Amino acid sequence: MSGPAASTATSTETSTTTPRKRRSIGWLLLLPGALWLAAFFVTPLVQLVATSLYDPNGSVEAGYAMTWSWGNYTEALDFYSEPFIRGFVYAGIATVLCLLIGYPLAYAIVFKAGRWKNLMLVLVIAPFFTSFLVRTLAWKLILADNGFVVSTFKTLGLVDDDGRLLATGFAVVAGLTYNFLPFMVLPLYASLERLDHRLIEAAGDLYASPAQGFRKVTLPLSMPGVVAGTLLTFIPSAGDFINSQLLGDTNQTMIGNSIQTLFEAGSYPAASALSVTLMALIIVMVAIYIRRAGTEELL
């Protein structure tokens, strides 16, 4: 075969081979990430689920046996239902506060900051340059009984003379709100930054007031950022144990503290059952929340 027919056959063969090579390269690029997830996510998760079904009467010294003890889950929920509820309540309050604080801040950075935008973004992420533990300890000093905040509140009559802020639910929620606020602001900023400003101008041209334009245009278009921000705030807050341990007391114990205590005590089946239950509840809540918010594409 020669001439035009040969060149046509060669070009056809090349056109069919190129997509195959591209697909092969794509799979090779995914391989390192897939191996990493399999080694450090899937394998530990499977081991965690298996551990939650071990015989609860075993011990670290004598070892545990797989007895498919589903009762570990019911016992965990019976004994630790209060920390579960408290953890979700604290996380929910902190998430709402982060949204109320973070949305105006992100809005101001996008629409009002002008040449100070980059500086304000740096200030938002600046706390990340400091250890999470150090930031929480700083709040312990701020809310100390002899600190400026408590003294000011006592002067204003907001706190009794023998009252305190540390070792209360207020302190735990304040710590959660502060530590996870950047996780709310950054997704909101990214969502608002992508808005087409001409849509907002069009709302004004159609005689919508600024409040109506925000409610009808800006807020609906920024809902993906709201959903992402609330998830990034609520999920780590629900499992957090540092804030309640340093800023609260035994009356402010969250489920993360219970899991930590059980693991340290060697009660691996109970701790694993609590961990799996926490993950399952969060997954269900996230799925319901995303579908109710009308942003299923985030799943």
Mean per-residue pLDDT of the chain: 86
Looking at residue 5, what is its pLDDT? 52
DSSP 222: T
Does residue 94 register a pLDDT over 70? yes
Q: What is the mean pLDDT of residues 242-267?
A: 90
Structure tokens at 256: 């993360």
Looking at residue 298, what is its pLDDT? 46
Q: Which one of 193-197, 198-202, 227-231 scores highest in mean pLDDT?
A: 227-231
Max intra-chain CA distance, the chain: 101
Which DSSP string corresponds to 154-207?
HHTTSS-TT--STTSHHHHHHHHHHHHHHHHHHHHHHHHHTS-HHHHHHHHHTT
Per-residue confidence band for 273, with pLDDT thresholds at 50, 70 and 90 = very high
Does residue 85 register a pLDDT over 90? yes
Least confident window among 7-11, 105-109, 194-198? 7-11
Give the Cα-Cα-Cα angle 71, 73, 77 (nearest 5 degrees): 120
Looking at residue 294, what is its pLDDT? 66
Burial 138-150 (b: 16+ CB within 10 A, else e): ebbebbeeebebb
Does residue 278 register a pLDDT over 50? yes
The candidate with the shortest Cα–Cα distance to 219, out of 249, 257, 188, 246, is 188
CATH of domain 73-298: 1.10.3720.10
Alpha helices, DSSP H, located in 38-80: 43-51, 71-79
Cβ proximity of 102 and 188 under 8 Å:
yes
Give the pLDDT confidence of 31-82 residue by residue, as tens digits: 888 999 999 999 999 999 999 998 887 766 556 778 888 888 988 888 889 9
Cβ proximity of 85 and 252 under 8 Å:
no
